[in-house]
Amino acid sequence: MTPVAEQLVPDVLGPGLDVVFCGTAPSAASYAARAYYAKPGNRFWPTLHAVGFTPRLLAPGEFQSVTEYGLGLTDVCKTASGQDADLASTDFDASGLRSNVERFSPNFLAFTSKRAAMEALGRKVEYGLQPERFGATQLFVLPSTSGLATRFWDQSWWRELACQRHARKTA
């Protein structure tokens, strides 16, 4: 774990976003690259493209361009990096996350791991749409794209979120 006084990778947030993806914390590779989901083998960027969130495969270094597609990025833990097992509950800023989400009010906040969702919501979670909201924002839990979570990988939940996003945009 690498503790620091400021965000390791800057939030990509703003008004008018459809989906903000929220990870647990930057991996060591993401911290080193100062880019989201930068570890080789992470499925995040290929999955965004495969399920239709982006029209082309983006590289981690292009992370700030996600707003062009109505997407945003953040983490529940912004000041430490490492694997989930290396992070303490005190490393997380659930109230800061909630405040940012309520401020920018994206249609969906999609947690990219159960740990991120559990730390933000303070309870155990299952994949899919959650019963509570942050302000007007619907909450969705996705399987982690990390190579360390391969045994839990299921792209169908990512497709479900893409379908819900599409349905909301066309309603």
Question: Looking at the domain assignment, is residue 160 inside a domain?
Answer: yes
The reported pLDDT for the residue numbered 3 is: 37
Average pLDDT over residues 19-23: 97
Residue position matching structure tokens 């914390």 = 25
Question: Looking at the domain assignment, is residue 5 inside a domain?
Answer: no
Question: Looking at the domain assignment, is residue 127 inside a domain?
Answer: yes
- The alpha helices in the chain, defined as continuous H runs, are 28-33, 44-50, 94-104, 114-121, 156-170
pTM: 0.92
Question: Looking at the domain assignment, is residue 95 inside a domain?
Answer: yes
Do 71 and 20 form a contact (C-beta atoms < 8 A)?
yes
Question: Looking at the domain assignment, is residue 8 inside a domain?
Answer: no
Domain that holds residue 164: 19-170
Query: Using one digit for the tens of pLDDT, what is the confidence trace for 1-11?
Result: 333 346 789 99
Question: Looking at the domain assignment, is residue 3 inside a domain?
Answer: no
Please count the structural domains in the chain: 1
The reported pLDDT for the residue numbered 156 is: 94
CB burial of 132-161 (b: ≥16 within 10 Å; e: otherwise) equals eebeebbbbbbbbbbeebeeeeeeebbebb
Indicate the average pLDDT of the chain: 90
Residue 41 forms beta bridges with which residues? none
Question: Looking at the domain assignment, is residue 4 inside a domain?
Answer: no
Do 91 and 77 form a contact (C-beta atoms < 8 A)?
yes
The reported pLDDT for the residue numbered 151 is: 77
Query: Using one digit for the tens of pLDDT, what is the confidence trace for 36-88?
Result: 999 999 999 999 999 999 999 999 999 999 999 999 999 998 877 877 767 77
Instruction: Give the CATH number for residue 142.
Output: 3.40.470.10
The one-letter code for the residue type at 146 is S
Distance, C-alpha 159 to centroid of its chain: 15
Question: Looking at the domain assignment, is residue 9 inside a domain?
Answer: no
Average pLDDT over residues 132-152: 89
Q: Which of 14-18, 69-73, 74-78, 147-151 has the lowest mean pLDDT?
A: 147-151
The reported pLDDT for the residue numbered 6 is: 65
